Amino acid sequence: MNIGQLLQMPIETLFVAFFNAADEKDGNFEIQSRYRITKFLPLPADSHKKTAQALTRKYGIDFVQINATTIAATVVNDNRISLDDFLNAIYEKIIVLLNKLPVNYPLDEEIALAMFLLRGSADFNRGLYALDLKNPTPRYVDNIFKLLLSSNNLIERLNLNFRELQPQFATGERERNTQIRINLKWFYENVITRYPNINKYKTDVLRVNIRNLGEVHAYHMFEERLIFYRQKILGRELTPNEINALRQDLEFREPIDVVPENKFSIRNQKIVAFARETFADVCVGCGDRYDIKDRSFLMPRNNRYYFEVNHVIAYANDSDAVDVLDNLVKLCPVCHRALAPHRAFPDLQRHIIENMLNSRPEVRRFVSSMMPNKYQSPVDYVFDRLK
């Protein structure tokens, strides 16, 4: 199977590729599953062979046993692109397909299955099921977060553990990967029991530890910890002094107080918070023509200029579908007000819309994927939807 063929597969196959793809020695990509014997149960000799067959049936791509611990499906890198570009191409196709899913589609369960079952492992002491993020890039981490925010309520079950702040990591004594972890009991009750035969060994390990799964509960710090990781840790070589300072900073941070009306407002607040912290402080509507000091004001609490986080396709329209990071930009207060109905001349509104669409490639791609055929251009579509 090559890249083009993979991108035509169902969304479940794209999920499993997105979370488990790695570089292969010959320049191709492998979608990998790894596991080994545990202290809880003996490992049947044919376990990896049967798991490979079950993965093939589930995802429609050919998984085979590579060695004593690894199962993999190969994707031929006929486009000769990097792993980061490959994962981004998968993400872009997933976003298009998400908008076409039926209302009753088990989105949280399918994402969690693809994300954790192939390479994850149980931590019975902490009541978590953990997945290592290998060689994460800023774009990949952003795409993971955007995908998780598109889920129904999965992000409430997740926990982020970045090992870079452990002293052993800085000294090189024990460098371990950052982990995304999911509530173990929720994972067992909602995912493993739904798909018990994909990896029978992992299912049986959880079953014999049924009393040690902990309790189902929500985590409310995932998005804040991810913003912290993305801004202050990812891609940096930290000294022991920097690690100590970051540990103290993280220890004294308090959760964001969120009292939403419903699950969509929960997600909206998280998405807006992530955009506010990670998008550059530049107005995409007029930043090429005006100095921000003439269009906004400094906020006393952080000495940063104030920006509105604006939905390109108006949030009031199909709110859950358009409430994604690829539909968000930063605007100065002047441009934000100018997009209100009858607040500015249509030519100015169209100019701001064009600049929003050109601000990031994913913005134009998202708007184009949502645009009905009756519109001639994304600008016409966004302009017509202004509320």
List the one residue out of 8, 74, 66 whose CA is nearest residue 35.
66
Confidence (pLDDT) at 262:
47
What are the b/e assignments for 44-65, b being 16+ CB within 10 Å? eeebbebbbbbbeebbebebeb
pLDDT at 161 > cutoff 60: yes
Looking at residue 168, its pLDDT comes to 56
Pairing of strands 158-161, 178-183: antiparallel
d(CA 142, CA 370): 21
Work out the mean pLDDT of the chain and round it to a whole number: 87
Rounded CA-CA distance 240/238 in Å is 7
Average pLDDT over residues 107-119: 97
Query: Over the stretch 185-222, which tens digit does the pLDDT of each residue have?
Result: 999 999 999 999 999 999 999 999 999 999 998 887 78
Secondary-structure percent of the chain, ordered helix, strand, coil, rounded to 5: 50, 15, 40
pLDDT at 171: 53
d(CA 212, CA 131): 19
The pLDDT confidence band at residue 260, using thresholds 50, 70 and 90, is very low
d(CA 338, CA 207): 59
Question: Quick one: average pLDDT of 279-292?
Answer: 92
* Euclidean distance between CA atoms 272 and 184, whole angstroms: 28
Give Cβ neighbours of residue 252 (< 8 Å, ≥ 6 apart).
Answer: none
Q: What is the pLDDT of residues 127-147, one digit of tens each?
A: 999 999 877 888 998 899 889
Percent of residues, the chain, with pLDDT higher than 70: 89
Please say if the pLDDT value at position 91 is more than 50: yes
Q: Is the pLDDT assigned to residue 101 strictly greater than 80?
A: yes
- pLDDT the model gives residue 170: 52
* pLDDT confidence bin for 151, thresholds 50/70/90: confident
* Residue 309 · residue 335 · CB < 8 Å: no
* Per-domain residue ranges of the chain: 3-251, 279-384
Asked whether the predicted pLDDT for residue 386 surpasses 60, the reply is yes
**What is the rounded distance in angstroms from the CA atom of residue 168 to the CA atom of residue 174?**
5
* Alpha helices (H) along the chain: 3-6, 11-20, 47-59, 83-98, 107-112, 138-149, 167-171, 184-187, 200-208, 222-232, 240-251, 263-278, 319-322, 333-338, 346-358, 361-370, 378-384
- Our CA angle for 72, 116, 267, nearest 5°, is 135
Read off the pLDDT of residues 1-34 as tens digits, 9 standing for 90 and up.
999 999 999 999 999 999 999 998 789 999 999 9
Distance CA 378, CA 368 (A): 6
Residue 261's pLDDT band, with cuts at 50, 70 and 90, is very low
CA atoms within 13 A on the CB side of 110: 21
How far, CA to CA in Å, does 22 sit from each of 74, 105, 193?
10, 28, 28
Lowest mean pLDDT among 58-72, 141-155, 186-200, 268-282: 268-282
Q: Which residue has the higher pLDDT, 335 or 163?
A: 335
Task: Provide the whole-model pTM.
Answer: 0.73
CA distance 381 to 163: 45
In angstroms, rounded to a whole number, what is the distance separating the alpha carbons of residues 135 and 234?
10
> Average pLDDT in the 272-279 region?
84
* 361 or 167, which is more confident: 361
